[in-house]
Amino acid sequence: MADSTRVRFAPSPTGLLHIGGLRTALYNYLFTKHHGGAFIVRIEDTDQSRYVEEAEQDILDSLKWAGLNWDEGPGTESQYGPYRQSERSELYQKYADQLIADGYAYYAFDTSEEIEEMRERLKKSGNPSPKYDSITRQSMKNSLTLPQDEVKRRLDAGEEYIVRLKVPRKETVRFTDIIRGVVSFDTQGLDDQVLIKSDGLPTYHMANVVDDHEMGITHVIRGEEWLSSAPKHMLLYKYLGWDAPAMAHLPLIMSPSGGKLSKRKAEQEGIPINVRDYVQQDYEPEAVINFLTYLGWGPGDDREVMSLEEMIKEFSLERVSKAGAVFNFKKLTWYNEHYMREKSDEELLPRIKKVAEREGYTASDDYLKTILSLMRDRVSRVPEVIELGRYFFEAPAEYDEKSKKKAWKEQTPALVQKYLDEIQSLSRDEFKAAPLKEKLSAVIEAEGVGFGKLMLPVRVAVTGMGFGPDLFETMELIGKQETEQRIADAISKLS
Ligand code: GLU
């Protein structure tokens, strides 16, 4: 495929971009970049009732955060723009007129009460899911049943109308989906899809097809939930006399406990659902991207970590799985740890600093850098360097219950006191990890007890917890006065 590949990510601005939406954007991006093509962002904002003011900005910000820069979209100018459907209304009207003139669509004047009546009537006569279709349209008020002069009179008088697609009674719509193979639908199950609403704006189906054609889209890559819309789109392409783009419907994203990963499910399972959550929790964008790439795709070998360039090189729709892809949060955490560890101190320091400030802690860059070096391999996300290391900034307000029980026995206060006496003899300059460790070894040898018998209580005293980075380096960093104070406090509080 030459330079001509054109794909689009076409979100509706009805809410914050969720993680599944980002995967759709990513697969579009990887596919088109693999073929040297263009990545287009189109905002599908024709449903005014579901419009959310901040959504568009959030979607664009999220794509930028993830590094998915678009070649065309809101804010760029080209022969294909504008890229917001609300700015393209005339186009949809023009093609709706063409469909009506060619006998593939019609005006419908029915009020919502009349449609409701029709439904009730059919339900009573045993039709469980009545539709406005090839049968019922014949008894409704539309340009197929009303005399032509009456239709003209109503239109001239400015009466409200909608435009509906004239879906054929019995036809099989067949197309080949790159991921799913041959897909076929029977038109009998379809209703006469509304194309233009009474507010004059197009529905998703109409605008989507017109824009994919007008923008020269070669491949439609979107979530499986749109598969059932595809036959309507195929009819529209046919009736408008256009070739349909190639289609690829991506597998659903499943929750670890089964079923589609809905907002509610995600919440229950502690999985952040909006891209904004990942930004706020300071995830590494490379980790999220690497994780999402593997959510429904794989290179076919045992590589797990790949740069964006590598993923572009390897990506193909043929390798996307049909089956739902389970969102494994542990895996995402693993990726995040990986990418975080790859970054230099210089890169991470400003971010650590921001978290520290947010938490109300002030410390020098050197102090923060030492914390980072102690904590780096023990945390999953950048903010945890601070959140799990509060004892670097303040004395523990309380002691972890389990560790306390495990560490603090009858003979412990006397033992810890001996250690405290020992380290008090060290000068401020001597208060370093190595001598602090030697002193501890000396005490346990003299007392004939195991290392842990003293090490654990001291750790609990200094940090409030039973685990953490190297204790002696931690003590060195916290400093002589503060460390000794904490140990003395623990002896009196815990005895
Ligand atoms: N506007 C639709 C959405 O919100 C686009 C579906 C499609 O890609 O055709 O996902």
The pLDDT, as a whole number, for residue 189 is: 84
Count of H-run helices and E-run strands, the chain: 21, 11
The pLDDT, as a whole number, for residue 129 is: 86
pLDDT at 2 over 70: no
The pLDDT, as a whole number, for residue 289 is: 98
The pLDDT, as a whole number, for residue 153 is: 97
Alpha-carbon distance of 65 to 280, in angstroms, equals 11
44 ligand 1 Cβ < 6 A: yes
Domain boundaries, the chain: 6-74+207-252, 89-196, 263-341, 343-389, 401-494
Q: What percent of the chain has pLDDT over 90?
A: 96
CA of 190 to the centre of ligand 1 (A): 19
The pLDDT, as a whole number, for residue 208 is: 98
Task: Give mean pLDDT, residues 141-154.
Answer: 97
Same fold, 263-341 and 343-389: no
pLDDT at 292 over 70: yes
Q: What does pLDDT average to over the chain?
A: 96
**116: region left, alpha or beta (phi > 0 left; psi from -120 to 50 alpha):** alpha
Measured from the Cα of 10, ligand 1's closest atom is 5
pLDDT at 26 over 70: yes
CATH, domain range 6-74+207-252:
3.40.50.620
What pTM was computed for the model? 0.93
CA of 65 to the centre of ligand 1 (A): 21
Beta pairing partners, 232: none
Domain 263-341, CATH homologous superfamily name and number = Glutamyl-trna Synthetase; Domain 2 (1.10.1160.10)
Alpha carbon dihedral 42, 48, 53, 58, in 10-degree steps, equals -30
Domain 343-389: state its class. Answer: mainly alpha
CA of 222 to the centre of ligand 1 (A): 7
Alpha-carbon distance of 420 to 484, in angstroms, equals 7
CATH, domain range 401-494:
1.10.10.350
CATH, domain range 89-196:
3.90.800.10
226 ligand 1 Cβ < 6 A: yes
Alpha-carbon distance of 132 to 138, in angstroms, equals 9
10 ligand 1 Cβ < 6 A: yes
Closest CA to 100 of 169, 155, 42, 157: 155
Task: Give mean pLDDT, residues 271-275.
Answer: 96
Q: pLDDT tens across 391-437, in order?
A: 999 999 999 999 999 999 999 999 999 999 999 999 999 999 999 99
Contact indicator for 114, 141 with CB cutoff of 8 Å = yes
Closest CA to 495 of 430, 396, 394, 416: 416
CA 267 to each of CA 257, 263, 272, 483: distance values in angstroms, whole numbers, following the listed order: 12, 6, 7, 40
Measured from the Cα of 14, ligand 1's closest atom is 4
> 493 catalytic, yes or no?
no
Contact indicator for 363, 387 with CB cutoff of 8 Å = no
Q: pLDDT tens across 395-405, in order?
A: 999 999 999 99
pLDDT at 76 over 60: yes
Contact indicator for 276, 62 with CB cutoff of 8 Å = yes
Q: pLDDT tens across 296-311, in order?
A: 999 999 999 999 999 9
Question: Angle, nearest 10°, between helix axes 471-478 and 433-447?
Answer: 120
Closest CA to 221 of 316, 359, 79, 103: 316
Q: What percent of the chain has pLDDT over 70?
A: 99
Task: Give the active site residue among 263, 402, 405, 409.
Answer: 263
3 state SS of 247: strand
pLDDT at 346 over 60: yes
Contacts of 333 (CB under 8 A, 6+ apart): 380
Q: pLDDT tens across 189-239, in order?
A: 899 999 999 999 999 999 999 999 999 999 999 999 999 999 999 999 999
Task: Give the model's confidence band at 48: pLDDT under 50 very low, under 70 low, under 90 confident, else very high.
Answer: confident
3-state helix, strand, coil in the chain (%, to 5): 50, 10, 40
Which of 204, 217, 236 has most ligand 1 atoms within 8 Å of CB, for mutation? 204
Residue nearest atom 3 in ligand 1 by C-alpha distance: 11
Question: Angle, nearest 10°, between helix axes 230-240 and 204-214?
Answer: 50
Contact indicator for 45, 14 with CB cutoff of 8 Å = no
The pLDDT, as a whole number, for residue 495 is: 82
Task: Give the model's confidence band at 1: pLDDT under 50 very low, under 70 low, under 90 confident, else very high.
Answer: very low
